[in-house]
Structure 1
């Protein structure tokens, strides 16, 4: 199909939107038209989106199969003349196979809807803009088209919240020498639905050209079929747009103070002892702690900025031990008190550029400890890092990661089991650790003896006690098989053998219990348990998407089995802790808030609040042998600090309400960050007394806020 024939329009039916772009609304063409797009991830096509428009009706088929997962929807849409849906029906399955059957209808002044998340009705004299619970990239195009006429104003949407669409630039795509006909496109930013923006590109005839999220710098996007070679160009565009946004946020939200910063009237939490101090003072100069002493000690300087802790608790910055970094996740992490992360697999070029930007102070981000991703080649391959074809290639890749400063190698599902031992040996020779999934058809016991320093994900450990020989963990079975976990006997010989091996080899466990809770305890229409302490603070689109069953729970017995599997994960955490196995709290998620839930889950499993908080502070840094710089609050250490009003050693939920976070001496106020990111704040900033200079002529310049 030629470019011109992909979107047929009538000049008399065109609608004028935005800054001079003529957009052809779906449903105004006299003949059937088509939008055919590819879903691209890691440089490979992993799905498709095909939309056929006839009159005012649009039929969409959307299918993704990436790493064994992906939504598979059919959508039927009826639009009015302005492009607003009058009816919408979505049927199929969601990311992990959960059933999707969503319906929306506006008729005779009444809008009604039913989805996994909710159901309701609202009187409306004209069709409102309904936002789907289970949508597709084509739905984002509908939202954009229906909202562009607002010219930058927020548009109310059903079932709640507001959407804003703004044009950010015009771009030219394609090159005849590369076999791609040139396309002129307008780029629109859609905000208000999720935590990060989505970008929608329309060509100069109004046809949908591409859709991608703010983190598409790695190349994950939906793009017009035949233009897949243009993905790197658009990935760079995505990176540029997101970088502009996060740089601006860094300039607004990062506060730097000249001279010492004195944090007074705080109880300092010591992860080593599990105790809080009497009221104390902590002084920071530049990026280091220079003094920790009892409250009221003499010699406070007028040149110091004073932060009043008001009797709250100051504890070391948290470490998310299972992250996949994107450009805009840094502020979300910092707002939750997370000052360090372990990146567990990424696009290598992107991560190197991100590390450079963080080091240069361009963007707000925790410290990152990078892990080098190694995967095997199969129909289920994940598309991060390297996919070596031979053992020699794998060993060369290990050396590349060592030369680029990676602390660890992460092995994934399709990796050849026989290569684990030599790869681990080479990594250890180079001073690197090894962790990851248990490769398909391998076992936890074998990877432990082959050299794993940590197993990634609690389910990857438990599958060794659950799966039958020959079952394939490259598929969603690695998650859905957790429905069998409730029947596990933790005193059984296989369980005791694996635990003994972990103890004798010093193997740690990267739990990501929160992501398992998200899956196993998710139920359509119910507020998810993993977000019980922050759900109402989140944007409406985020809330609705998570009121769902991620897996098929139509059978009550299966729902019960998943609940029992979730219960068993907490029992395994307590068993491993009691046996002295190091627990590494991680999330596999980028909101920051989920690490706080991960720590809370440790408490629900039976750890004391102090023990749970230790795992995410000192314990994480002990794993990296990095305690000389971070992990506790002491003179000479990096000033990575979190201030909360309560006492997390008594009630772990206090960690959800940080008032101030310091990352290397730079101060952030979570309330400011959350407000800027569309999240309702949790706590107010502490009171601050600016520094006073002895020289009146320079007094105004002592405190510098950026």
Structure 2
């Protein structure tokens, strides 16, 4: 769809701001620079950009975990340094084709991307935010917005960016850089280091960092700096958003989901004392224990136990996103180990917001396709040493990844089991689920990792994006065939659950350029513009009408697999491989779409997870004596599972959060009204 409007006065003023000319003088734009892209301490790619007087050529190449963007951009700049012609081509993260363009000319700004197209009237060049971007773009946005009045700038296609200068950093070679933080583009801020000429030094991030070639020795220092700056931000948000009560309070006029029976009961008043449920009383009760207590009025809403994400990769920012979505329990399936240990410590001390975290130890083999999380090992002996390290540091399971040598798996599982740990993971390349179950797997991660055992030939390499693209073959899969039945029999006999992450498979297989998917439609319009646009893209390469049909039919077959597993009593562990919280809601919706009842889906996402992780004595259901692990929903999820998308209040132990307050602080339009706290009954 094409839209037209006249650029507003504030944007025009910012674009004409006279500092721009000084910032982007020809002397500052006459150098070729390379940034090294690093992940978990290893080089995984590069950004090369050649800046001339009025143009920039950019190449961005990443290979990490068998995937990564490969982009080329040609940019023409105005005299003020704002892009007026922008052509981007290449491949996105999973190999999808990228063709994006932007042009300002003769009073009009016109763009075309995977997500959208548009045209606006603009008498001056307008800063455009690309859909498929490189670290160079991030530095360019920071420079441009910093030069605008109040360091704030409206941008195209929509939204506003804000930049703050944080601090100076001394670097080798007797020069220093300045750290800037930019907000408004996505779910998390961008952090950029620029030198005195406003040229890029580094772009910082959680799992990936780009740093000027020759400064790689500063990687640890700058990674730590990023962590410190983000820590300060999220700690401040925790102080602002966490509410605590001294003594008892009540959640009044509520129905609650009994996860043991799968029924909705009430109406009741739930009394909370010291972070625990002390009583569940009929609303007609005259108990003197609650008559004069402060309260939250659920207004007839449904209280469910806190939701679980059984496949998370925790970040500094993920805690508030999870809590706002009613997710109070997660299992971290692979991370930077020191970061995760420190993060959990701070959450335990309540200086950071976030769900309870069960930590799994990520273990990967060395190959050109290795994922850079946890430990990457070169031998069976080293793998066993890392298993012991994980045990000593309190990790619950070992998670094995695609490049692991299958011949090492029996020794790994034996060592883990000896230490009281479980083993889960991907199915390593050149083997199959049955072999890994026989080698000691206690669980399988991702439904595609399970189904690829029925779709691939032994020599096909799942370390590559084939582990996604081969899923289109499932359209013709016979679920009554001997290979399928043999694996399901094996899982049933050995009690091997599946962490399906069906929501991520839906996103990867069914997302289409320019479309809002069924999964994203309920929340996407509330989100920052950069996130909205990123969600409207095609991830799979080579998408013809025939391939599109194959993916859609294959995803339908995937849902049939979920139903059959459930009917056999094979446990489904709802996980997402995401950190936004919204995908947990969709995972449960997909279980219902597959044929589970809403009650069965809710049990899977609450008590079922607690039982699997041996936590059911204190969380997983709403019972007197258990932790206050409560989510008040607007609606009845047993009638419509999508009610889980509308939390109004979240209680995690002795901390209470309002999702509406959290979303407002994160730049998101709330999805349900907040519930007010009444400090006294007046009686």
TM-score scaled by length of structure 1: 0.92
Map of 2:177 onto structure 1: 185
* Offset, 1:629: 0.8
- The 2-side partners of 1:336 and 1:664 are apart by 16
CA pair 81-454 structure 1, distance change in 2 beyond 3 A: same
For residues 90-132 of structure 1, the C-alpha deviation after alignment (integer angstroms, 9 at most, x for no partner) is 0111111111110100001011111111111000011111110
- The 2-side partners of 1:144 and 1:468 are apart by 48
On the 8 A contact 1:259/1:303 being kept in 2, the answer is no
Pick from 622, 626, 630 the counterpart of residue 611 of structure 2. Answer: 622
Residues 394-473 of structure 1 aligned to structure 2 (within 5 Å)? 394-473=383-462
Residues 191-270 of structure 1 aligned to structure 2 (within 5 Å)? 191-213=183-205, 216=206, 218=207, 220-270=208-258
Pick from 263, 268, 285 the counterpart of residue 280 of structure 1. Answer: 268
Map of 1:291 onto structure 2: 279
Residues 593-632 of structure 1 aligned to structure 2 (within 5 Å)? 593-632=582-621
Secondary structure in 2 matching 1:480: helix
Over aligned residue pairs, what C-alpha RMSD do you find?
A: 1.7
- The 2-side partners of 1:663 and 1:16 are apart by 51
Map of 1:702 onto structure 2: none
User: Does 2:563 align with 1:574?
Assistant: yes
Name which of structure 1's ranges 512-521 and 145-154 shifts more when overlaid on structure 2. 145-154
User: Does 2:101 align with 1:103?
Assistant: yes
- The 1-side partners of 2:30 and 2:338 are apart by 42
* Offset, 1:447: 0.8
- The 2-side partners of 1:31 and 1:284 are apart by 61
Map of 2:14 onto structure 1: none
CA pair 182-570 structure 1, distance change in 2 beyond 3 A: farther
For residues 53-110 of structure 1, the C-alpha deviation after alignment (integer angstroms, 9 at most, x for no partner) is 2220111111111111111111011111222111111011111111111010000101
* Offset, 1:205: 2.3
Which stretches in structure 2 are left out of the alignment for 5+ residues?
1-16
Map of 2:636 onto structure 1: 647
Name which of structure 1's ranges 521-530 and 336-345 shifts more when overlaid on structure 2. 521-530
On the 8 A contact 1:510/1:583 being kept in 2, the answer is yes
Residues 27-42 of structure 1 aligned to structure 2 (within 5 Å)? 28-29=26-27, 32-42=30-40
For residues 2-57 of structure 1, the C-alpha deviation after alignment (integer angstroms, 9 at most, x for no partner) is xxxxxxxxxxxxx9969xxx9852x7239842121111111111111111122201
Map of 1:177 onto structure 2: none
Secondary structure in 2 matching 1:290: strand
Name which of structure 1's ranges 460-469 and 159-168 shifts more when overlaid on structure 2. 159-168
Map of 1:660 onto structure 2: 649
For residues 458-483 of structure 1, the C-alpha deviation after alignment (integer angstroms, 9 at most, x for no partner) is 00000000001200111111111111
| Paired residues, number | 666
For residues 612-656 of structure 1, the C-alpha deviation after alignment (integer angstroms, 9 at most, x for no partner) is 011110001111111001100111111110001210011011110
Map of 2:10 onto structure 1: none
For residues 229-277 of structure 1, the C-alpha deviation after alignment (integer angstroms, 9 at most, x for no partner) is 1110110110001000000000000011111021111111011211011
Secondary structure in 2 matching 1:683: coil
Which stretches in structure 1 are left out of the alignment for 5+ residues?
1-14, 175-180, 695-706
Secondary structure in 1 matching 2:384: helix
On the 8 A contact 1:46/1:64 being kept in 2, the answer is yes
Residues 139-150 of structure 1 aligned to structure 2 (within 5 Å)? 139-150=137-148
Secondary structure in 1 matching 2:643: helix
- The 2-side partners of 1:17 and 1:427 are apart by 61
Map of 2:111 onto structure 1: 113
On the 8 A contact 1:266/1:279 being kept in 2, the answer is yes
User: Does 2:92 align with 1:94?
Assistant: yes
On the 8 A contact 1:32/1:54 being kept in 2, the answer is yes
Pick from 513, 520, 526 the counterpart of residue 515 of structure 2. Answer: 526
- The 2-side partners of 1:250 and 1:55 are apart by 46
Map of 2:360 onto structure 1: 371
Map of 2:541 onto structure 1: 552
Pick from 476, 488, 493 the counterpart of residue 487 of structure 1. Answer: 476
* Offset, 1:419: 1.5
- The 1-side partners of 2:433 and 2:560 are apart by 18
* Offset, 1:409: 0.6
Residues 276-355 of structure 1 aligned to structure 2 (within 5 Å)? 276-297=264-285, 298-301=287-290, 304-355=293-344
- The 1-side partners of 2:109 and 2:368 are apart by 43
On the 8 A contact 1:23/1:204 being kept in 2, the answer is no
- The 2-side partners of 1:327 and 1:156 are apart by 27
Pick from 484, 505, 508 the counterpart of residue 516 of structure 1. Answer: 505
* Offset, 1:553: 4.2
Name which of structure 1's ranges 39-48 and 291-300 shifts more when overlaid on structure 2. 291-300
Residues 579-598 of structure 1 aligned to structure 2 (within 5 Å)? 579-598=568-587
* Offset, 1:521: 0.4
On the 8 A contact 2:28/2:199 being kept in 1, the answer is no
Map of 2:371 onto structure 1: 382
* Offset, 1:173: 2.3
On the 8 A contact 1:23/1:207 being kept in 2, the answer is no
- The 1-side partners of 2:334 and 2:177 are apart by 32
For residues 187-209 of structure 1, the C-alpha deviation after alignment (integer angstroms, 9 at most, x for no partner) is 11111110000111101122110
Secondary structure in 1 matching 2:123: coil
For residues 277-327 of structure 1, the C-alpha deviation after alignment (integer angstroms, 9 at most, x for no partner) is 120111111111111121121214466221111111001000100000111
- The 2-side partners of 1:453 and 1:251 are apart by 40
* Offset, 1:390: 2.3
Secondary structure in 2 matching 1:311: coil
- The 1-side partners of 2:508 and 2:335 are apart by 23
- The 2-side partners of 1:38 and 1:619 are apart by 44
Secondary structure in 1 matching 2:301: strand
* Offset, 1:151: 4.8
On the 8 A contact 2:364/2:404 being kept in 1, the answer is yes
- The 2-side partners of 1:23 and 1:383 are apart by 41
- The 1-side partners of 2:176 and 2:455 are apart by 54
- The 2-side partners of 1:566 and 1:235 are apart by 39
Map of 1:10 onto structure 2: none
- The 2-side partners of 1:401 and 1:151 are apart by 51
- The 1-side partners of 2:132 and 2:186 are apart by 13
